[in-house]
Structure 1
């Protein structure tokens, strides 16, 4: 009897051991199958980042992101009527009329005009149901556009949207979160920089900074953050190397500085601007994207893309150059990340910046790109 009991016990033990080994092997095979190549987390569906054209010759930001079934909008520039173009584009992908997350990085017109809206172009807060709104903690603005933004934002909150500023998110206060789970393996993280709580003479430094993390792939957005803000961003966060960086401040000479670039070493850089537009300056070298920014970025990548290009004419009577139209450079830029890798597809032209006619006519080739 004792021998039979011993044999029975050994059989049970062997079965349990086989079950454990099988479960471990099965999990390992599932992990290998589900993980993106080179990734460390299972990714459910694509992460798609759309740098949208804005329907006019004014520079601004409006970025639509699809993470699994979650819809995100970062900024709504450049003017109120830009929402006519951007909402039509978003509707191709957002089929339920709901934006789960809306981010307004700072209070400049070229980032919030589409949230403020106008009598002829409804606010994005009115065009979509917005569930969570995250915006800047501080501002120096008192403009009518800013006041209209606050009015439309607060109306959305009255209709059920949750509203937090970036500092509340970073600190996890009042129900806000530092990290939001968007889809399996895809997260949106609000990064810290000192101008969430310290005043700056430059409105751009109030920009909300975000990192989208998809396993070991990272995508960085810094609004119009200037050098002082970039220094704080680097000092306050353990920033990884990134697959994608949205060029700061539309590719200006004062953003996307070495202090940040040498840490993140971006593989792809997307610039939201109307290339060559004289909206802000008559100095062609300083029109967006500037030669200085291009020179700095060239040390890390030549995969630079720009949404729009402007047409400029000289007005002899006024003795100055003027904007006289616009068109797509790359057009709407779509960066897709999934288990197959990260790729870029543009609606007009997939050429990187250095291979475009505009670049060859208006910029000097950096030695790193030669």
Structure 2
């Protein structure tokens, strides 16, 4: 799992046994960095691309990724027709998928993606109407051997509560902290169930939102022995052997 430093945004590359997945890609202006990073790993194909939700700090440059890589399929959340964005980056993303005949599928709770020796089970969004687009974020539980890792995009308290009620949450080894460490995510109720040993926060240095928020860091540190931040450490790499996870930092 490569938590790629894209500044104030989100981008994670996951690979196991030659099967690859990209979760978000940050803003348009950093998509070249993501491309270069993946090329440096020898990646030419992305079997799965997950666009967690249509905000530019998560998928502003996704059309570039679709254009330059061989992509198996793309997953997006179901969003009610009246809330589907008409932003340029989102329309260009859909156009790129259509031009390259890349299947675009709506994620649904219970859907399992096989990633080599790992699997990812979709646990959100569960179909409710949300006022805040963040709560439509695709969330999934990644399992590799005895290790479980939770990814929640920008899901906030309302969606986290739906995950809790859905009964699919378990204790995890690693938690990709929701919404860049915002106070509106990583609620006490969620953390008390998942009790992560490692937390990873993707955020930009000196970002205007104050992410990660101090109160969220305190909540995470109550459970996690290690909290990694891309604004401090750059790209963070987590390697699972099925029983433990080793962390490497860019700086």
Q: TM-score by structure 2 length?
A: 0.93
- Which residue does 2:158 correspond to in 1? 228
- Which residue does 1:73 correspond to in 2? 22
Instruction: Note the 1:116-155 alignment, pairs <5 A.
Output: 116=63, 123-138=64-79, 140=83, 141-155=85-99
Distance in 1 (alpha carbons) for counterparts of 2:247 and 2:116 = 21
Deviation at 1:340, TM superposition (A): 6.4
Distance in 1 (alpha carbons) for counterparts of 2:29 and 2:157 = 31
Distance in 1 (alpha carbons) for counterparts of 2:67 and 2:167 = 35
Is 1:63 aligned with 2:12? yes
Deviation at 1:268, TM superposition (A): 0.6
Per the alignment, in what secondary structure is the counterpart of residue 81 of structure 1?
Answer: helix
Distance in 2 (alpha carbons) for counterparts of 1:221 and 1:154 = 27
- Which residue does 2:5 correspond to in 1? 53
* Alignment match of 2:193 (pick from 252, 259, 263): 263
Count of aligned residue pairs for this structure pair? 248
Is 1:218 aligned with 2:144? no
Is 1:98 aligned with 2:42? no
For the pair shown, the structure with the greater C-alpha radius of gyration is: 1
Per the alignment, in what secondary structure is the counterpart of residue 292 of structure 1?
Answer: helix
Distance in 1 (alpha carbons) for counterparts of 2:212 and 2:205 = 6
Is 1:292 aligned with 2:233? no
Per the alignment, in what secondary structure is the counterpart of residue 61 of structure 2?
Answer: helix
Unaligned runs of at least 5 residues, structure 2: none
- Which residue does 2:123 correspond to in 1? 191
Distance in 2 (alpha carbons) for counterparts of 1:76 and 1:255 = 20
Per the alignment, in what secondary structure is the counterpart of residue 169 of structure 2?
Answer: coil
* Alignment match of 2:241 (pick from 338, 343, 348): 338
1:192–1:237 Cα contact (<8 Å) kept: no
2:2–2:14 Cα contact (<8 Å) kept: yes
Deviations 1:58-77 (A, max 9, x none): 51001111111111100011
Deviation at 1:251, TM superposition (A): 0.4
Runs of at least 4 residues off by over 6 Å: none
Deviation at 1:240, TM superposition (A): 1.3
Per the alignment, in what secondary structure is the counterpart of residue 106 of structure 1?
Answer: coil
Cα RMSD between the aligned structures? Answer: 1.6
Unaligned runs of at least 5 residues, structure 1: 1-48, 117-122, 172-177, 281-286, 309-328, 349-370
Instruction: Note the 1:159-170 alignment, pairs <5 A.
Output: 161-167=102-108, 170=109
Deviations 1:9-44 (A, max 9, x none): xxxxxxxxxxxxxxxxxxxxxxxxxxxxxxxxxxxx
Task: Between the two structures, name the one with larger relative contact order (CA 8 Å, sep ≥ 6).
Answer: 2
Distance in 2 (alpha carbons) for counterparts of 1:136 and 1:229 = 13
2:113–2:119 Cα contact (<8 Å) kept: yes
